[in-house]
């Protein structure tokens, strides 16, 4: 079952340190990891992006709430995403000079092998913040459900009577991994800071051993009580092989490599910051 996409403004804490891009040197601690990249909601004018890999750049165009862009990363523990920018300088022909500058960074731990990365654009500052999830077979196996709480309340999720609770700005994994197709009762409730409890959802859901689900609880500040809380889903199906983004082949001198196109459609809302 899918939930509707709803316009929302998520008040979340956390700040992102933009790392400087440095050339790799012998003896440095290098990390090797798959990076699955997606917009939470794309900016109105999506920038051209590239992942810095040693001295090379791998251009990519994220989809919205779909982890279809995968880059095999090998580099420093702080992976840096760059955006293409037109500078105020001009070349000898009078044409503006472009430059690649840091847009956001992704921490890659020594044991990370497969990370899902949501990009939260901040158009006023010209950067993005990130939310990173472990997508390794051990950390998030198929058949799993993970609750991500972007609200100021505690959120409880119950499936077939088994309940997990995610604190405000935190996550909780449902303890069961579904090994077969299951039609289950599903309930979600919020316990607010003033002690009030609200039932948000009571329905039936289908869970599969070939799918893993990130379930986001979202709060709209200032909304009416009936419209205060909403949900978003990202479902990763085993049968949907992600597209691996390869480094571009060198093009003719003076011409930029072609950029892949992102998925079209109405994007989800722009939150203030990731969890």
Rounded to two decimals, the pTM is 0.78
- The Cα-based distances of 54 to 12, 22, 106, 108, 117 in angstroms read 32, 8, 15, 15, 20
3-state secondary structure 127-169: EEEEEEEECCCCCCCCCCEEEEECCCCEEEEEECCEEEEECCC
The H or E element that residue 119 is part of is strand 114-122
CB atoms within 10 A of CB 66: 17
Q: How far is CA 64 from the centre of its chain?
A: 9
List, for the chain, all residue ranges whose pLDDT scores fall below the cut of 50.
1-27, 251-272
Helices (H) and strands (E) in the chain, counts: 0, 18
User: How far apart are the two ends of the chain, measured CA to CA in Å?
Assistant: 25
Residue 34, beta-bridge partner list = 72, 114
pLDDT, one tens digit per residue, over 161-209 is 999 999 999 999 999 999 999 999 999 999 988 888 999 999 999 999 9
pLDDT of residue 256: 40
Task: Report residue 45: phi and psi, to 5°.
Answer: -115, 90
Average pLDDT, the chain: 82
CA 169 centroid distance within chain:
15
Give the torsion sign (CA, 137, 139, 140, 142): positive
């Amino acid at each position: 079952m899918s939930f509707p996409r709803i316009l929302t403004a998520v008040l979340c804490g956390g700040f992102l340190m933009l790392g400087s891009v440095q050339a790799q040197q012998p003896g440095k601690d290098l990390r090797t990891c798959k990076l699955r990249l997606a917009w939470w909601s794309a900016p109105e004018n999506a920038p051209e992006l590239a992942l810095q890999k040693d001295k090379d750049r791998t251009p990519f165009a994220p989809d919205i709430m779909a982890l279809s862009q995968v880059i095999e990363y090998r580099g420093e523990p702080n992976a840096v995403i760059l955006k293409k920018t037109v500078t105020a300088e001009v070349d000898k022909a009078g044409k503006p000079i472009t430059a690649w500058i840091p847009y956001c960074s992704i921490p890659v731990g020594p044991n990370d092998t497969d990370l899902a990365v949501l990009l939260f654009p901040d158009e006023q500052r010209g950067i993005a913040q990130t939310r990173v999830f472990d997508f390794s077979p051990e950390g998030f196996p198929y058949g799993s459900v993970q609750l991500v709480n972007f609200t100021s309340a505690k959120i409880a999720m119950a499936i077939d009577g088994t309940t997990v609770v995610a604190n405000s700005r935190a996550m909780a994994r449902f303890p069961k991994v579904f090994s077969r197709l299951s039609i289950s009762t599903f309930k979600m409730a919020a316990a607010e800071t003033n002690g009030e409890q609200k039932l948000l959802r009571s329905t039936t859901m289908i869970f599969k051993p070939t799918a893993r689900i990130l379930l986001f609880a979202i709060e709209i500040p200032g909304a009416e009580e009936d419209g205060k809380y909403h949900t978003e889903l990202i479902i990763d199906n085993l049968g949907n092989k992600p597209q691996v983004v390869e480094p571009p082949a060198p093009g003719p001198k003076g011409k930029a490599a072609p950029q892949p196109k992102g998925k079209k459609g109405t994007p989800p809302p722009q939150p203030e910051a990731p969890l």
